[in-house]
Structure 1
Amino acid sequence: MDWQFGGIPLHPLFVHLTSVAVPVAALTAIVVAVWPAARRWLAVGAPIIGLVALVSVPLATSSGEWLEHREQETALLERHTELADGLLPWSIAVFVLLLLWWGWHRFGTARMTSGGALRAVAIVGPVLLLTVGVVSMIEVVIIGHAGAESVWKG
């Protein structure tokens, strides 16, 4: 695919989308994990935010690979592209956990009567959401910083 519009590479556009969508999805994961009122307020919006973030990552990486083949290879650019490949699994995890967390609270809790299972999910769910939320935000910052260095120092 030709990742340009009017002769201008689309990578910066997708990078900006990703650098906003992934942290917003991560913050959404953290908020719904620790604040029940937000979980009710966001409802199905939380997984939708996660889906937008998830879709943005392959767009950014694919357009970045296209652009990489048209730029001079440097160690900084190589580091940026290697780091960028690590964001997709975290974005998948954020989306899947947001979807499961929403589904659990929408359909699962009403059907569960056992206190042990409810307690386990009430502990494990937020811990996983917090973990993937924090790590995905850190990943975006590290990848973005490496990309900025490759542009401005490379």
Structure 2
Amino acid sequence: MELQIAGLPLHILLVHVVVVGVPLLAVVLVVLSAWPAARRALWLVTLIAALVLLGLTYLTIESGEWLEDRVAETPLTEQHTGQGEDILPWMIALTVVAALVAALAIVERRERRGRTDAEVAANRGITSTVARRSPARSAIAVLLIVAAVGVGIGSVWTMVLIGDSGARAVWQGSFSDQPSGEGEGGDD
């Protein structure tokens, strides 16, 4: 399969989507885990985005392997390609967290549709109309926040390591600390 677009390797185009998408998804999952109103509004979009990003991550890895066969083998490129697949388990974990956020949002939606706040309060012998969250659901919400933060930190850190090794593989030794002088209007 030819993995290039307009003469550019697909990897160098896709990698930018993944480098931006993984940290953004991690932050959104932490927010949705901690903020029920945001979860109600964005759970489906976030789940779809996680699934799309998982596919793009896999395609980015595959296109990187394709590109590896077409560039000079150096210790830096070997290091980068060796680290490239490290993001896949983290991306799977982010997708699982997105699915758990979606499941919690669906459970909360069903509970809201099933009973009004006044009915919940009356069933519990409370005179206030303020609905209370069950202890089990509160515990699940806290665990979801912890999972989102942990997986988010791990995925972002892995992405930083992979990106750093990729940038070094491409740029180390490829540029000068001094301007080349061509096109410069400096003093001679």
Instruction: Provide TM-score, normalisation by structure 1.
Output: 0.89
What is the identity percentage for the equivalent residue pairs of Structure 1 and Structure 2? 40
**Residue 120 (str. 1) matches residue 131 (str. 2):** no
1:70 aligns to what SS in structure 2? coil
Q: Which has the higher helix share?
A: 1
The one-letter code of the counterpart of 2:146 is V
Give the Cα–Cα distance (whole angstroms) in 2 for the partners of residues 54 and 40 of structure 1: 22
Give the Cα–Cα distance (whole angstroms) in 1 for the partners of residues 34 and 136 of structure 2: 19
Structure with max Cα Rg: 2
Give the Cα–Cα distance (whole angstroms) in 2 for the partners of residues 65 and 43 of structure 1: 33
C-alpha contact (below 8 Å) 2:33/2:145 kept by paired residues: yes
**Residue 164 of structure 2 aligns with which residue?**
145
**Residue 31 of structure 1 aligns with which residue?**
31
**Residue 18 (str. 1) matches residue 18 (str. 2):** yes
**Segments ≥4 residues shifted beyond 6 Å:** none
Alignment gaps of 5+ in structure 2: 115-132, 174-188
C-alpha contact (below 8 Å) 1:22/1:54 kept by paired residues: no
C-alpha contact (below 8 Å) 1:21/1:52 kept by paired residues: no
**Residue 122 of structure 2 aligns with which residue?**
none
**Residue 88 of structure 1 aligns with which residue?**
88
The one-letter code of the counterpart of 1:127 is V
- Structure with more contact order per residue of length (Cα contacts < 8 Å, sep ≥ 6): 1
C-alpha RMSD of the superposition? 2.1
Q: How many residues align?
A: 153
Matches within 5 A, 1:23-102: 23-102=23-102
Give the Cα–Cα distance (whole angstroms) in 2 for the partners of residues 43 and 62 of structure 1: 29
1:67: how far off? 0.5
**Deviates most, 2-11 or 68-77:** 2-11
Give the Cα–Cα distance (whole angstroms) in 1 for the partners of residues 88 and 162 of structure 2: 12
